[in-house]
Structure 1
Amino acid sequence: MADIQFVVSPTWLFEHLHDSQVVIVDCRFSLANPQLGQQQYQASHIEGAYYLDLNQDLSSPVGKHGGRHPLPNLIELANKLSAIGIDSQNSFVVAYDDSRLAFASRLWWLLRYLGHEQVAVLDGGFAGWQKAGYAVTDIIPQPKNGTFSPQIITELVVDIETVKKCQNLPDVVLVDSREGDRYRGEREPIDKIAGHIPGAVNYPWQEATDASGYLLTPAQQRQRWEKLESAKEVLVYCGSGVTACVNLLSLELANIHTGKLYAGSWSDWISYM
């Protein structure tokens, strides 16, 4: 497992289910019902999987600025990662959800931001695991003693001031990851103001996967991003910095390594309006 992988199949995970280096994390969550993911996990999950909650574990409390899902306190997150047995550089983390990788990709990105490259998402998510015929359980694993020491890669994230400075530069592309109608301001079900950041182009995050939550092939990902291959930087945002991580994963699969997250995203941007 020395080679960096961004995605693993249900078959791969089944074959490595009891490897001591593999740590599985259930990231299921519902924006409409924040308790649902935890409830689903307690009812059934992949054997050995731990649960990390978008609001409680993978985000900080909401403030005046910073968006609806501010980045978590990194020391607290590191402690939580240690408590589920993740060792820096040694553990191979597999994250899954049931939302076309929306929340699993948040953990994938956070771990890479913390300098831990040995992390992948489960292709097809929880449904893909079950469709493949593999068993689930309701047994909650015991805490483990890992040692996670974050080595923050600061250049992977940008703030509103950086976006303002770069939004009109010819070699920097600003990508809005939301659905087209939200990008165009025709519909806004969550935030108080509709529209998009001036200069942004629209690449809806759902287009990185098919309807069942399986990622497009690397060749298809490259085709998806071919117009942006020459960009010096690709600054990616969504509503709150969560689903944008699916596009950042897509960029990596396309062999484009210039993606950066505007963590506060649209909900941060409009907090200054």
Structure 2
Amino acid sequence: MKLKEKHISPLQETPIRLQEYAVGIFSTNPTKSGIKKAIKKGLVLVNGKVASTALYIVGGEIIELYQEEIKATDKQFIFPLEVIYEDDFLAVISKPSGIVVSGNSFATINNALEQNLKISSLKDAVIPRAVHRLDYPTSGLLLISKTNETTHYLSKLFEEKNISKTYHAITIGQMNDSGLIDIPVDEKESKSEFKVLQRIPSEKYKFLNLVELNPKTGRRHQLRKHLYGIGNPILGDKEYYIENLISYGNGLYLHATSLNFVHPSTKEEMKFTKELPKKFRRLFPNFSL
């Protein structure tokens, strides 16, 4: 077995069963059902001994979560990724379009991370995992955590909106030069700022716009829904589109261009930028970041 995460329990006012206590203490297995399954498989050790669901936690226990060893016969997802930055705490990779970040499918970014990144040498090292999501058809920068503490730190930064993300998209139709879109997404408050950087005439779409986007909230499909909501859907979007104005050729023109955050250990300001894909530059050859 391979150690994934370690946790030391604080003193408990009242003893609590392990399967209840362990919910949420491991970032790689946060759910009650997942913890119960791991305990039954013998993947949870308390003070060096395989734990049972009946065990009570009183405080001071060393709780370890292990991963089953991958058998030589097990199929592995081989998928090379461009690594923009890597240290013992985190990594930034370039996600290609046309692949999901995580989920039940075999071909995911998370399943490809171990072969592309080094395992952290720190005591709370975990299997590298993405701490946010990019849609299947979206390309660009993706932030990866390599330790348990880093996962909690970066998740808090996202929750408190202290990670700045910038996207670029190509939209269709006539649109304002800049603005704030505050259309609710899934009945929740949602805000996205946009700025048109360049536009070109188009026989099919009237205009194509190269747009810089700064989401102020993080709802699912927020940018795609927002741009569709103001009548300027993203070129190549097959879910949020205007009838007879779908582009099937080169996928979705939405790219996560930059990430800006404070490093969990050095407290250094980290800023990463990824140039626009070739399909963007073919339409707007005179633009550079």
Which TM-score band (shorter chain)?
A: under 0.3
TM-score, normalised to structure 2, is 0.25
> What TM-score comes out, normalization by structure 1 length?
0.26
Q: Which has the higher strand share?
A: 2
Whose Rg is larger? Answer: 2
Per chain length, whose mean CA-contact separation is higher, i.e. which structure has more relative contact order (CA < 8 Å, sep 6+)? 1
